[in-house]
Amino acid sequence: MSRRGEASGTVAQVGSSPRRIHYAGRKIARVRSIADLRARAHKLMPRFVLEYLEGGAGQEATLDRERKAFAEWRAMPFTLSDEACRDVSAKMLGRDASLPLAIAPTGLNGIFMRNADVALAQGAAEAGVPFIQSTMSNDRMEDVAAVPGLRHWWQLYVFGGEEIWQELVDRADRAGCEALVVTSNAQIFGQREWDERNRTASGFPNLPGLIDAARHPRWLVTTLSRGLPEFSNVIDFVPKDERSFFDSANWIREQMPKSLGWDDLARIRERWCKPLFLKGVLNLEDVSRAIEHGVDGVILGGHGGRQADWAVSALDILPRARELSGDRIALYISGGIRRGSDILKARALGADAVLTGRATLYGLYAFGAAGVSRAIELLRSEMMNELGQYGVPNLDALSPDLFVREDRLPL
């Protein structure tokens, strides 16, 4: 389904009637799905912010594939099964989580609201799942780490000289971060045409974008009333004459080393003694290489469809990746998670856990930290319901045999 179709509120149904309308109002208790949170976010966001949240690379084929991959798997439910005691809790790095999910690292969340990263962390702590903070976040690492009850992970972009990533890794250790997540597939930015159309050569929103933003007073008050956000965790590395919002973003992008390789990962592994994940893997050979380089986990995914266009989805290669890795590492996937059934499919096909980015960002923009925890609770409750529908008691009872691809449906 195209982004335009989703934004208009259409859903899969028999024919086109009745037209389904998602709830986009102010009462969080009435929210019944991630689609409701998405509808409210779309209603309240300026157009250029919406494009930033939803856009993919190029023709957006990878973005589209991330959702279609989940739609291709169908359950074969058991019946007459004991469904009285269902459980969707899981272990993540040996610790309990309310469901096998972490909030994915997303940069520039300050464009949605002030202190967005702290709000995401608060929602994650309330829901009992980890929050992975991005290098390109807008709240200080130490401020996020101060959120009570938070399982705080740090995502690392490698840019500039080695002293930068070394300092970030050491700060993450001092801040008590539980794990380090190294992103490997963003050294060259994807072709984000939607972003280029909405901005001037200097990076500032174009005139139509500014006019549209002026029509969204809520966004102006919650986001821009104290000025543009800054990249708080890396701004001290930026030359003083390039520390404005757009200049700093461009400077950091230009400092991304095109030569980032496996030797760099080995040096990071040597410096970081806690759990280490490699994120952005979509090739099975790279899964094997990551294991050889001593990572504790691999996160399969295509950067939310924003990098390589026409790439496979994480779910496409998940079963083979599980075969290759066995039980030697944790195997997570990211991209396209919108329903609890998506998480169950991922678990059945070999994932230990999933990451979600957009689903919790919809909740963030719609209702702040409460919307983040609401998004996660919706996914958890959907998982509980679907477990009962499938006739299995818990996540360990899931297996590939419970699902079949549409192109292999038994006659």
Model confidence pLDDT, tens digit, residues 341-387: 999 999 999 999 999 999 999 999 999 999 999 999 999 999 999 99
CA distance 4 to 10: 9
Nearest one of 343, 346, 292 to 319, comparing CA atoms: 346
With cut-offs at 50, 70 and 90, classify the pLDDT of residue 162.
very high
**What mean pLDDT is predicted for residues 183-211?**
82
Domains of the chain with bracketed CATH = 74-408 (3.20.20.70)
Quote the mean pLDDT of the chain.
92
Where does 115-184 have alpha helices with state H?
116-127, 141-145, 162-174
CB under 8 A, 24+ apart: contacts of 231-237 = 231/136, 231/137, 231/138, 232/137, 232/138, 232/139, 232/140, 233/135, 233/137, 233/140, 233/141, 233/168, 233/171, 234/135, 234/136, 234/164, 234/168, 237/160, 237/164
Residue 204: pLDDT above 90?
Answer: no
Nearest to 301 by CA among 327, 265, 329, 337: 337
Residue 411, pLDDT score? 63
Measured distance CA(125)–CA(369) in Å, rounded: 10
Q: Which residue has the tokens 């005691």?
A: 85
Identify the residue with better confidence: 3 or 20: 20
Helices (H), 232-313: 245-254, 262-271, 284-292
Categorize the per-residue pLDDT at 265 as very low, low, confident or very high, splitting at 50, 70 and 90: very high
Q: What is the mean pLDDT of residues 258-275?
A: 96
Paired sense of beta strands 95-97 and 90-92, if any? antiparallel
For the chain, the straight-line distance linking the first and the last C-alpha, in angstroms and rounded, comes to: 27
Is the pLDDT confidence value at 91 over 90? Answer: yes
> What is the rounded distance in angstroms from the CA atom of residue 372 to the CA atom of residue 119?
8
The 3-state DSSP class for residue 74 equals strand
Q: What is the pLDDT of residue 3?
A: 45
Q: What is the pLDDT of residue 7?
A: 42
Residue 134 confidence (pLDDT) above 50: yes
Window from 220-224, 334-338, 340-344, 370-374 with minimum mean pLDDT: 220-224
CA distance 360 to 197: 26
Q: Which of 152-161, 223-232, 281-290, 321-330 has the lowest mean pLDDT?
A: 223-232
| Exposure string for 215-250, b = 16+ CB within 10 A, e = fewer | ebeebeebbeeeeebbbbbbeebbeeeeeebeebbe
Q: Name the DSSP class of 20.
A: P
Residue 288, C-beta contacts closer than 8 angstroms, at least 6 positions apart: 324
Percentage above 70 pLDDT, the chain: 95
Q: Which residues pair with 405 in a beta bridge?
A: 73
Binding residues for FMN: 105-107, 134, 155, 183, 279, 357-358
Among residues 22, 42, 152, 303, the one annotated as catalytic is 303
* Residue positions forming the annotated binding site: 52, 105-107, 134, 155, 157, 183, 192, 279, 303, 306, 357-358
| Contact (CB, 8 A) for 391 and 83 | yes
Mean pLDDT of 133-157: 98
Distance CA 243, CA 53 (A): 24
Q: Active-site residue 152, yes or no?
A: no
Nearest to 144 by CA among 159, 158, 154, 157: 154
**Pairwise CA distance, residues 141 & 131, whole Å:** 12
Mean predicted confidence (pLDDT) in 113-123: 97
pLDDT at 253 over 60: yes
CA gap 34, 356 in Å, rounded:
11
Q: Report the pLDDT value the prediction gives residue 14, as an integer from 0 to 100.
A: 54
What's the token pair of residue 290? 């990551």
Q: What is the spatial distance between Cα 105 and Cα 303, in angstroms, rounded to a whole number?
A: 10
Q: Which of 15-19, 78-82, 398-402 has the weakest average pLDDT?
A: 15-19
What's the confidence (pLDDT) of residue 15? 59
Cis? peptide before 130, omega within 30° of 0: no
Q: pLDDT tens-digit profile of 279-297?
A: 999 999 999 999 999 999 9
pTM (global) more than 0.85 = yes
CB 296 within 8 A of CB 273: no
The Cβ-side half-sphere exposure at 213, using a 13 Å CA radius, reads: 21
What is the structure's pLDDT at 136?
Answer: 96
Compute the C-alpha angle 131/134/136, nearest 5°. Answer: 150
Looking at residue 368, what is its pLDDT? 97
